[in-house]
Amino acid sequence: MGLDLRLDFKMSQTVVMTPRLQQAIKLLQYSHLEMIDHVQEAILENPTLEVVPDTDDGGTADLEALRKDEGTKERNEVSDQTNGADGDIDWDKFLGYLKDGSSGQGLGGTMHDELPPIETNLTYGQSLADHLLWQLQMVRCLDEERRVARIVIQDLDPRGYCTQTREELAGAAQCSVEIVEDALAVVQALDPIGCGAADLLDCLLIQAKGRFPHDSNFPRILRDHMHNLEKRNYAAIAKDLEIDVEDVIEYHRMIKDDLEPAPGRAFTVDEPRYITPDLYVENHEGEWVVVINEEGMPDLRVSRYYQKILREASKKDREYLIDKLKGAEFLIKSINKRRRTIRRVMESILKFQGEFFEHGASRLRPMVLQDVADDIGVHMSTVSRVTTNKYVHTTHGIFELKYFFSAGLNCATGGDLASEAIKMKIKSLVAAENGKRPLSDQAIADLLNRDGVNIARRTVAKYREAMGVLPSSQRKRMF
């Protein structure tokens, strides 16, 4: 059989992801703040885009209308504070004092004139490394130990643990393992005690040795009986150490109250994550209303100026301007479509989860992305993109849109209950339990079944672990 080359024509349909289609898809995934940044960048890059005058407030007229009464009240409070007078200050006289170089004392002076500048009263957070390095300067040790101790301190994780082995530290510091051992001893003696430990057990042993140096039971309990402490098996510990059970309970209390499993925790500075709601759901005259947060989002339009000069531009300039004008028009249409899609998705969620907005998380119903997609007539992937990294402000708090989607369990009273609602019930039962006789997973399942929630013990255990709630054996309080 011979091989030959030939050309064939074949017709087929394929989906082509053009750059502008990709841009439209990305817009759906942007949060409110990301969308504002994207619009600002587009205005800088595309000269044919311009902001509609008087829309810098973001077009929040709908939201402001719903809060008209609160705004009026706030203005009245401001007016009361100023006694309703704006012209009581002689601004010419005041500016004259400033021009003459006089201080505020020329206007009568205040009790704060002699205070130091405000900058001297500001306090700044201190990291764990800074705190330890400051102490290291005052410790008597060899220069080589001090140098390696600095390397150890810089290596500590937020808990205060050393993340490298002694051999790795010796290689990084180009010194012997013995010098690393001495440097670790220096760091472990600093405040907070326990920093530089290799793991949790090492951290607790260092603290126990420093706080209770003459008690030999502490190291034995920590090394050999941590599992018994977790299970509250005090009798086994008392038998092995040949002490009373009451003494074991007291040791457990001291470990819990006096030893810190993460000594660097007090110096951990987490960057705050600010959440700006993309939507508001508010009750307006007995009806729930969806309002899109457009604060900081100006309205855009295609510049008429560039439309005019397009007629007189050269061929090269015309190609550039036409591309920019089309890009501006497409962006404006995409933003409007994004706004409509987000509103439709939230209104659909409101329709399915109406009882949540009335009564809270205990009335959350099971719902999947396909339910909303079928309701508003879009693909499920569109709903997934809209609900990603979007937050809604409700009377019960701020929630991510994905919070409203979860599986559920059948109820004997009819209907289904979402997993988040069941988790809330489990959490409330644990919060109200007797600390000395905590509820087991089976007991929680029995109580929920008595309330009409058909749930098995293993499902209770799965939800409890997902919420980070300890088992009953570890929740039991002896003191």
Please name each of the domains of the chain with its CATH number: 20-67+273-405 (no CATH), 128-267 (no CATH), 411-475 (1.10.10.60)
User: Rg for the chain (alpha carbons), in Å?
Assistant: 33
In the predicted model, is pLDDT for residue 123 greater than 90? no
Mean pLDDT within 323-345? 91
Mean pLDDT within 337-352? 94
Residue pair 394/357 in contact (Cβ under 8 Å)? The answer is yes
Mean pLDDT within 295-313? 85
Which of 274, 280, 276 shows the shortest CA–CA distance to 393? 280
In the predicted model, is pLDDT for residue 430 greater than 80? yes
pLDDT digits (tens, 9 = 90+) for 408-429: 666 655 556 778 888 888 888 9
Mean pLDDT within 363-377? 90
Mean pLDDT score of the chain: 80
Lowest-confidence region among 118-132, 202-216, 449-463: 118-132
Q: What six digits make up the tokens of 445?
A: 């399942």
Residue pair 303/285 in contact (Cβ under 8 Å)? The answer is no
In the predicted model, is pLDDT for residue 350 greater than 70? yes
Task: Name the residue with higher pLDDT: 115 or 206.
Answer: 206
407 residue type, one letter: A
Task: Write down the number of H helices and E strands in the chain.
Answer: 23, 8
In the predicted model, is pLDDT for residue 85 greater than 80? no
Which of 128, 134, 136 shows the shortest CA–CA distance to 183? 136
pTM of the model: 0.60
Q: Cβ contacts of residue 264 below 8 Å, gap of 6+?
A: 128, 156, 157, 158, 159, 160, 161, 192, 195
pLDDT value, residue 322: 87
pLDDT digits (tens, 9 = 90+) for 3-45: 667 777 777 666 556 676 777 788 888 888 889 999 999 999 9
């150890």: which residue's tokens? 152
Q: What six digits make up the tokens of 398?
A: 């701020």
In the predicted model, is pLDDT for residue 197 greater than 70? yes
391: Cα separation from own chain's centroid: 12
